[in-house]
Amino acid sequence: MSQKALVLAVVLAALVAPQVTNAQSPRNMMVELKFGPYYPNIDKEFSSKQPFSEVFGASQRLMSKFEYDYEFFTGFGALAVGGSIGYSQFKGHGLLATGEKSSDTTKLHLLPLSLDLIYRFDWLWQKHKVPFVVYAKGGIDCYVWWVTNGVGDISKSSDGKKGRGATFGGHLSLGAAFVLNSLAPGMAQTFDVEMGVNTTLLFAEYVFSWIDDFGSKKSWDLGSRTFLVGIAFAF
């Protein structure tokens, strides 16, 4: 290959190669992975007995959640709708008629499903690159739950009813996030060009939930007051 042909090939390769620019890609979606302690409000409904802690103990368990949001308005902040799914598990021992604990293992599994309306005040980051975002969420929940015995089968009560169901309710959340793009702008730009991730955030949020079939006296309250921490990717 002649020297002129080699130079021409290099120039053409440079023209067709993807270029990293300072412009960010369009953004209208966000995914979140978050974790936090969880313990339901069941025992707060009783003045003397503590039925939940007697079976499962008084320690909080880990709640893990995945959330997907879609932004439908951006201006002075952003409005979005979102949905999430989570999981938590409690392990303990049932009580015999004598009041003593059974040797058989009992597990309570919870699968919380949520629909949210979200407002994020990210104007300071979008316009002035101040790397902080605050937000609020509110929505409805359905906690799918089931109880299993030591061999993994659905437990049954003394009258033959299976230990499974779903409890509905709602929640409110307030949170704050730090924009990781501000720490490494070049790496963030490359991540955007190659993966389409516009913004990466670390966040923490306080959650107040009431999961009691909207005040029904027939349902236990699976809600709680807790906090979640996690990472979010906007794209």
pLDDT tens digits for 63-118?
Answer: 999 999 999 999 899 999 999 999 999 998 877 666 677 778 899 999 999 999 99
Distance CA 40, CA 220 (A): 9
The mean predicted confidence, pLDDT, of the chain is 87
What's the distance, CA 125 to chain centroid? 23
Q: What is the pLDDT of residues 17-33, one digit of tens each?
A: 444 445 567 778 999 99
DSSP designation for 208: E
Whole-number percent of the chain with pLDDT over 90 = 60
Q: What value does the mean pLDDT take over residues 186-204?
A: 92
Domain assignment present for 193: yes
| 75 occurs within a structural domain | yes
10 Å Cβ neighbour count for 166? 13
| Residues in a beta bridge with 33 | 66, 231
- Specify the pLDDT at position 16: 43
**Phi and psi at residue 41, to the nearest 5°:** -85, 15
Per DSSP, the three-state class of 213 is coil
b/e per residue 174-198 (b: at least 16 CB within 10 A): ebebbbbbeeeeeebbebbbeeebb
Per residue in 120-165, pLDDT (tens digit) is 999 999 999 999 999 999 999 999 999 998 888 888 776 778 889 9
Do the domain assignments include residue 63? Answer: yes
User: Is the residue at 30 inside a domain?
Assistant: yes
User: Is there a contact between 61 and 38 (Cβ–Cβ < 8 Å)?
Assistant: yes
Assess if residue 5 is contained within a domain.
Answer: no
3 vs 187, residue with greater confidence: 187
With respect to residue 205, please indicate whether it lies within any of the assigned structural domains: yes
- DSSP secondary structure letter of residue 24: P
In the chain, the DSSP E strands lie at 29-38, 61-75, 77-95, 101-121, 132-148, 164-179, 199-210, 225-234
13 compared with 92, residue with greater pLDDT: 92
Do the domain assignments include residue 90? Answer: no
In angstroms, the CA 228 to CA 158 distance is 37
How confident is the model over 168-188, as a mean pLDDT? Answer: 96
How many folded domains does the chain comprise? 1
Strands (E) located in 180-224: 199-210
CATH number for position 120: 2.40.160
pTM: 0.84
- Residue 178 is part of which domain span? 25-84+115-140+171-234
Residue at 4 is within a domain: no
